[in-house]
Amino acid sequence: MILRFLFLWCLRTISAQEYSSNQILRIKHEPTHFISASRTVRPGQVYAVSVTVFKSTLSVRASVQREGVELASAQQDCRPRVPETLLLRIPPTSLPGSYRLRVEGGIQGVLGGSAFHNESELLYSQRSMTIFIQTNQPIYRQGQRIRFRAIPVTTDLRAFSEAVDVFILDPRGTVMRRWLSRQTNLGAVSLQYQLSKQPMFGNWTIKVVAQGQVEEKTIYVEEYYQTPFEVNVTLPAFVLENERHIRCSITANYTSGAPVTGNLTLKARLEPLYPQFRQYGQVPETKHFINYFEGRMDLDLPMSELRRLRSQVDHSRLSVWVEVGERFLNQVEIGFAQSLLYKSDLRLVFLGANPQVFKPSMPFKCYVSISFHDGSPLPSWRLNDQKLEFLTRVKFAGGGEQELEPRFEQMSPIQFGVWEITVDLLSVFGSLAALNDVQSMLLEAKYTDETGERARTSLLVYSSTPLLTATCRLSPAREMPR
Ligand SMILES: *[C@@H]1O[C@H](CO)[C@@H](O)[C@H](O)[C@H]1NC(C)=O
Ligand SMILES: *[C@@H]1O[C@H](CO)[C@@H](O)[C@H](O)[C@H]1NC(C)=O
Ligand SMILES: *[C@@H]1O[C@H](CO)[C@@H](O)[C@H](O)[C@H]1NC(C)=O
Ligand SMILES: *[C@@H]1O[C@H](CO)[C@@H](O)[C@H](O)[C@H]1NC(C)=O
Ligand SMILES: *[C@@H]1O[C@H](CO)[C@@H](O)[C@H](O)[C@H]1NC(C)=O
């Protein structure tokens, strides 16, 4: 809470003689007293005025007035440089109006001898506390019991010990029940209200009035009847358009948990994720009917069927409605789920940094991995008949280039979708001397699989050895290093 303070101080009066004797025209700003107090005043509050005098012992009197009538006052003898606090009890029944604080300092023992006095305007605030209203739930249905409590807390965070009035109002504003002058029990009033079987549905209000301050809380009363059973449809959150089918898991249970037997109708619809223009007429949908359903089922929606709904399957939203008809109650319940379909962009990468560094005289090892664009792994059936073509182009310091024989790499038997590739230039060129000239290599991988999809990537590797083979000779030092 931010309190605005007001500061008052007075200057020592300088006599004419003193002024003339002071050749340098400088006025010494020497304060005689310092007063600080809150700018706002609230009903029932203990209003504190802090006073410090600097010169001599003074008898200080502070008072709060409303429309010129004194409401509270306090007096205290203040010794120099000893801060004192004057406490004024503002009556709880005080009303809005123009409030003033008056502070006077009198010389001790001298009747009417005023050392200073000052008056200042105060702001009046009715809000002398915070009322918290808590309910046991935010939404209720017919026949439920609303349990709630009101906790009034004063501005200094202490419990409010006096009585409060509590009202409960229906959406039309009619008072449905009231509790007058409820004593707070250790700072809280706990109450309950039983909703009838046919209450008015909508926003109800709990109103708490304490010391003229009103606090309200809205609760929502909704019509709700529990269904005898529920249908739960689960779809994967994302589907890649090259999958063969989409698995749709359906469960239907009574509220007791027992499975529901009946018939089942599944409807699926495919809509663009970002429609360019509004669709008119019937959105095409596909339908499946199962006459005998026993509470649990996994239904595979073939992608070919969805392609018939919409030629472009990727970037679309699949919506599935499942209706389960229960034989004995002759009741139909609907379950719903959605999924997003994306294009299966392949991503072929060399693992690690790019570019990399290698030593031409040593075999260089690198890894290539394939995944979908979002990083998810490819289904194993796609990797059964894959091909990874590997090309190496060696660049020499003199500006020459040489392309090595293309190779087809084997996928790592341990790690699916990863190839471990070794480039051994020494075995290709046959001599170390030829390798001295190698500046860099450009490695390129090309992937093709049985669906005909392709992906390619490349990696640049620089030779780490300097072009000239430098020799280094070590000789023992003769002198001690300085
Ligand atoms: C009271 O103090 C205020 C703030 O220092 C000052 O502006 C005002 O003139 C003083 N009033 C009197 C009557 O001394
Ligand atoms: C209830 O109040 C909420 C906001 O507090 C409002 O959005 C909603 O429309 C209200 N409902 C009725 C039935 O008045
Ligand atoms: C529906 O089923 C899924 C998985 O079987 C489960 O995670 C989810 O909580 C169920 N939802 C409901 C509303 O029962
Ligand atoms: C719903 O019924 C199925 C059997 O059909 C059962 O496996 C499942 O646990 C039940 N679910 C719940 C939430 O009771
Ligand atoms: C499925 O069962 C419900 C409830 O018994 C029934 O009303 C509905 O006609 C049935 N649907 C079909 C297509 O038979």
- pLDDT tens digits, 185-214: 778 899 999 999 999 999 999 999 988 789
Give whichever of 187-191, 376-380, 477-481 has the largest mean pLDDT: 187-191
pLDDT surpasses 60 at 467: no
pLDDT recorded at residue 110: 66
pLDDT recorded at residue 22: 46
Distance from residue 297's CA to the centre of ligand 3 (Å): 13
- pLDDT tens digits, 121-130: 999 988 778 8
d(CA 326, CA 295): 10
132-149: average pLDDT: 94
In sequence order, what are the residues at sequence separation of 6 or more whose Cβ sits closer than 8 angstroms to the Cβ of residue 414? none
Residue identifier of the C-alpha nearest atom 7 of ligand 2: 203
69-93: average pLDDT: 92
Backbone angles phi, psi at 309, to 5 degrees: -75, -35
pLDDT surpasses 80 at 228: yes
10, 118, 119: residue to mutate for ligand 1 pocket, most atoms within 8 A of CB: 118
Distance from residue 325's CA to the centre of ligand 5 (Å): 5
216-227: average pLDDT: 90
Atom of ligand 1 nearest to the CA of 6: 4
Tell me if 118 sits within 8 A of 60, measured CB to CB.
no
pLDDT surpasses 70 at 75: yes
d(CA 392, CA 389): 10
pLDDT recorded at residue 121: 95
SS3 of residue 88 by DSSP: strand
Q: Which residue has the higher pLDDT, 232 or 109?
A: 232
Residues with CB under 6 A from ligand 2: 202-203, 218
pLDDT band at 366 (very low <50, low <70, confident <90, very high): very high
Please tell me the number of the ligand nearest to residue 138's CA: 2
pLDDT recorded at residue 445: 93
Backbone angles phi, psi at 454, to 5 degrees: -125, 155
pLDDT band at 251 (very low <50, low <70, confident <90, very high): very high
pLDDT surpasses 70 at 24: no
pLDDT surpasses 80 at 297: yes
pLDDT recorded at residue 346: 84
Q: Please give the mean pLDDT across all residues of the chain.
A: 85
The amino acid sitting at 466 is P
- pLDDT tens digits, 381-394: 778 778 899 999 99
Please tell me the number of the ligand nearest to residue 249's CA: 3
Q: What is the pTM of this model?
A: 0.46
Atom of ligand 1 nearest to the CA of 117: 14
pLDDT recorded at residue 10: 40
pLDDT recorded at residue 469: 47
Residue identifier of the C-alpha nearest atom 9 of ligand 4: 257
Please tell me the number of the ligand nearest to residue 252's CA: 4
pLDDT surpasses 70 at 416: yes
